[in-house]
Chains A and B, each alone.
Chain A
Amino acid sequence: EDKVVQSPLSLVVHEGDTVTLNCSYEVTNFRSLLWYKQEKKAPTFLFMLTSSGIEKKSGRLSSILDKKELSSILNITATQTGDSAIYLCAVEAKGSKLTFGKGITLSVRP
């Protein structure tokens, strides 16, 4: 059975700190890994990482896929209170099904 594990489960930091969120996976027929940010309801798409694109960056957010270690990290630099959210990692396997981790709750204090 496909599995995605995220750590830590929750994190509290102060504005300006840098955070690293972890995701590891065991998936048959891996196709891609995705990061989402969930604030109230709908998860919003952040990054998709594949064998042909193992590093992505957008502003203060960046993500790396390590296919050898079957893991990914999401880095957020110079955190702001607006970064407070649940960060979900999901892995797409053959058959297009997404398997999600439980999510990491990030709280950024002023």
Chain B
Amino acid sequence: ETGVTQSPTHLIKTRGQQVTLRCSSQSGHNTVSWYQQALGQGPQFIFQYYREEENGRGNFPPRFSGLQFPNYSSELNVNALELDDSALYLCASSSTTLAGLREQYFGPGTRLTVT
């Protein structure tokens, strides 16, 4: 186990609704990254937070937003859900040092189904 936890495990939402997914990073890690993994695909980078600031963003629309808290836990918010948002959402925590990013450790993911 990596020490990264995510909640909830599964979620079913309706098109147009909003959802909040949560992630607690591994102790000592100051960086959290979020990924979307559609069925049969590799994870796609959504964004990354470092010390409560967004530190990079992938090709996702603004309705995907996030937060990182002082304890380095994080939330992913998705507004106006679409059917294509159905996927496994993975959170990864890591430690960013002067030498650069260390390996990212993934949580178990949240399976989101949009109907």
User: Which listed residue (A32, A44, A95, A99) contacts B106, Cβ 8 A?
Assistant: A44
Q: Which of the segments A64-72, A77-85, A100-108 contacts the partner chain?
A: A100-108
Q: Is B107 an interface residue (CB 8 A)?
A: yes
Tell me the chain B residues, 88-115 only, with Cβ under 8 Å from chain A.
88, 90, 92, 94, 96, 100-101, 103-109, 111
Q: Which of the segments B13-21, B39-47, B60-68, B70-78 contacts the partner chain?
A: B39-47
Whether the pair A97, B48 counts as a contact (CB closer than 8 A) is yes
Whether the pair A97, B45 counts as a contact (CB closer than 8 A) is yes
User: Which listed residue (A34, A96, A100) contacts B48, Cβ 8 A?
Assistant: A96
Give the distance to chain B from A47, nearest Cβ to Cβ, in Å. Answer: 9
Give the distance to chain A from B40, nearest Cβ to Cβ, in Å. Answer: 7
Residues of A within 8 Å of B56, CB to CB, are 95-97
Tell me the chain A residues, 15-55 only, with Cβ under 8 Å from chain B.
31-32, 34, 36, 41-45, 48
Main SS at interface, chain A: strand
Main SS at interface, chain B: strand
- B binding-site residues for A, Cβ under 8 Å: 2, 4, 31, 33, 35, 40-45, 48, 50, 55-56, 58, 88, 90, 92, 94, 96, 100-101, 103-109, 111
Residues of A within 8 Å of B43, CB to CB, are 43, 88, 90, 98, 100
Whole-angstrom distance between the alpha carbons of A100 and B58 in the complex?
Answer: 12
Residues of B within 8 Å of A102, CB to CB, are 40-42
Whether the pair A41, B108 counts as a contact (CB closer than 8 A) is yes
